[in-house]
């Protein structure tokens, strides 16, 4: 079983304080869906300034029964005031293959997402995408020449929700790791269901009334 290590708030805040003060203005809005080939983010970079919310750390090996590549994933969430920003530190640590693609599942199809590379990241992703086949729930980052070491990616949202979800790490073979993304809060789902109750009740009454008149 994979070990999920929660990073302490103090450590994450210390990391945040070490970042240069800047804005998310250099991120780019990711269309849903994106055009074939994805959106070029090779020149987009930003630093994150906000209040630390939570984080999760996981390790991975691809494929699970071999060692084409292995590494770690640190996922962090920051409250920037206007929404939550997700920061992913993807590190390839060993293996003959490099990482070609990184995906995060769990985004709302209607959600506005801004993406890019973190300023100072050792390796930049060249493009990002939200493919129509996933309904926009999966965001992918692509490394055209492969990721040999560390890459830090940013997804900024206009909402304040987060939950555990799955990340995909691929290059021919693939594997997964635990990560964080913005998904509907349980209270939102419950509220939506409650809104449907009056409609359901009126439908039942309509059916019963029709049966009584037959």
pLDDT digits (tens, 9 = 90+) for 139-172: 999 999 999 999 999 999 999 999 999 999 999 8
Domain coordinates in residue numbering, the chain: 9-183, 186-214
In our burial notation (b when 16+ CB lie closer than 10 A, e otherwise), range 161-170 reads bbeebebbbb
What would the pLDDT profile of 84-94 be if each residue is shown by its tens digit?
Answer: 999 999 999 99
Q: Give the model's confidence band at 184: pLDDT under 50 very low, under 70 low, under 90 confident, else very high.
A: low
pLDDT at res. 62: 92
Q: Give the model's confidence band at 182: pLDDT under 50 very low, under 70 low, under 90 confident, else very high.
A: very high
The two tokens of residue 199 are 């409609």
pLDDT at res. 70: 95
Residue 52 burial class via C-beta count within 10 angstroms: exposed 0-12, middle 13-18, buried 19 and up: buried
Higher-pLDDT residue of 167, 4: 167
Q: What are phi and psi of 15, to 5 degrees?
A: -65, -40
pLDDT at res. 208: 52
Identify the architecture of domain 9-183 in CATH. Sandwich (2.60)
User: In the predicted model, what is the mean pLDDT of residues 84-113?
Assistant: 95
Q: Is 4:56 a contact under the CB 8 Å cutoff?
A: yes
Q: Give the model's confidence band at 177: pLDDT under 50 very low, under 70 low, under 90 confident, else very high.
A: very high
């Amino acid at each position: 079983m994979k070990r999920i290590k929660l990073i302490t708030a103090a450590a994450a805040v210390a990391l945040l304080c070490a970042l240069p003060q800047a804005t998310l203005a250099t991120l780019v809005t990711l269309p849903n869906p994106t055009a074939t080939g994805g959106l070029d983010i090779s020149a987009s970079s930003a630093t994150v300034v906000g209040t630390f919310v939570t984080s999760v750390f996981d390790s991975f090996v691809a494929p699970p029964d071999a060692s084409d590549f292995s590494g770690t994933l640190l996922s962090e969430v920051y409250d920037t005031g206007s929404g939550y920003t997700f920061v992913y530190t993807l590190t390839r640590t060993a293996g003959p293959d490099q990482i070609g693609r990184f995906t995060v599942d769990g985004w709302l199809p209607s959600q506005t997402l801004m993406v890019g590379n973190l300023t100072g990241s050792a390796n930049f992703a060249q493009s990002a995408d939200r493919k129509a086949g996933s309904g926009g729930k999966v965001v992918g980052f692509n490394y055209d020449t492969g990721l040999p070491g560390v890459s830090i990616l940013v997804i900024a949202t206009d909402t304040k929700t987060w939950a555990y979800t799955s990340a995909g790490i691929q290059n021919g073979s693939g594997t997964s790791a635990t990560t964080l993304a913005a998904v509907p809060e349980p209270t939102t789902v419950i509220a939506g269901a409650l809104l449907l109750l009056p409609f359901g009740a009126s439908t039942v009454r309509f059916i019963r009334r029709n049966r009584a008149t037959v």
